[in-house]
Amino acid sequence: MLDINMRGLDTESDIDWDFIVKKTEGYSGADIANVCREAAMMPLRRRLKASGINVSEIEQLRKEIDVPVSMQDFRESLQNIQKSVSKANLEFYDEWMKQFGAV
């Protein structure tokens, strides 16, 4: 899921994918997509905050704000995005699958 959601995005070499996999255990596919999207936006937010740029100037600086996603971006994203599926939900769906074969 991480690979699919991060495909085509520039990432730094410091990303510990095993750590992210462990931290997203129990997350739904949509939750993981949200974590990746949030992490991908972090470099842009940092640049905008540091530069004091206003929204109207963003188009002019599109190439400048194209920076890679880092491990810190994922850490912050994981703090902002919580899993939406509880352990009880997963157990319910597992039992449903055993009984009925489909969700």
Portion of the chain with pLDDT greater than 70, in percent: 87
For 31-67, the pLDDT digits (tens) are 999 999 999 988 888 887 887 777 667 666 666 667 7
> DSSP letter string over 51-64?
HT--GGGTGGGTTT
Architecture of the structural domain at 2-100: Orthogonal Bundle (1.10)
Hey, what long-range contacts does 58-63 have (CB within 8 A, 24 or more apart)? none
Query: What is the pLDDT at residue 59?
Result: 66
Provide Rg for the chain, Cα atoms.
Answer: 17
Instruction: For residue 84, name the pLDDT band (cuts at 50, 70, 90).
Output: confident
Residues recorded for the chain: 103
Rounded to whole angstroms, the Cα distance separating 25 from 43 reads 25
Q: Domains of the chain: which residue ranges?
A: 2-100
What does pTM read for this prediction? 0.57
